[in-house]
Amino acid sequence: MDERILTAIDANINRATEGLRVCEDIFRFIIRDEVSEKFKELRHRIVALIKFIPRSDLLHSRDVESDLQKFFDTDSEKNRQNIGDLFSANIKRAQEALRVLEEFSKMDFPELSIKFQQLRFDAYSLEKNSYPLIQASCCKK
């Protein structure tokens, strides 16, 4: 497998799981709702899908030093006004990363593409179902 593909897979696994972890912790520690467990479950499903790729291969492919965008944040990435902004940014980050995983897996792991697609749609549903809790939390005084 092309190591650059592994680099992209590694980066997007990290993006997806990190974004979901932020969402999980919003519901676990701030909103204090059991929906946090659904974010945790989705995160663990991602990790389970890529278990067949040796961790050592992913770590070997990681090239933080050459990443041209590692410290490039847009203004919107630097600014979070409230918990709703934080949630929206991180659920979108996870969804976008799942789309990248879906697309890159088509080249070397086509059987995974449909599984990443399902995870992405599960993330869309989870966003829709949990957003009312975010709105209610943002409106509390």
Q: Quick one: pLDDT at residue 140?
A: 62
Task: Report the candidate in 98, 103, 86 with the shortest Cα–Cα distance to residue 123.
Answer: 98
- In Å, what is the CA distance from 103 to each residue of 14, 66, 89, 123, 138? 16, 22, 21, 16, 35
Mean pLDDT, the chain cut into blocks of 10 residues (141 residues total): 88 97 98 98 97 81 68 62 94 99 94 96 99 87 48
Distance CA 120, CA 98 (A): 6
Residue-level pLDDT at 81 = 83
- Which one, of 53, 71, 49, lies nearest residue 118 by Cα? 49
Determine the pLDDT at residue 69: 58
pLDDT of residue 63: 74
Report the pLDDT value the prediction gives residue 67, as an integer from 0 to 100.
Answer: 65
Taking the model in full, what pTM does it have?
Answer: 0.89
Q: According to the model, what pLDDT value does residue 88 have?
A: 96
Separation CA 14–CA 18 (nearest Å): 6
Rounded Cα–Cα distance for residues 88 and 127 (Å): 8
Q: What are the extents of the domains in the chain?
A: 3-58+81-139
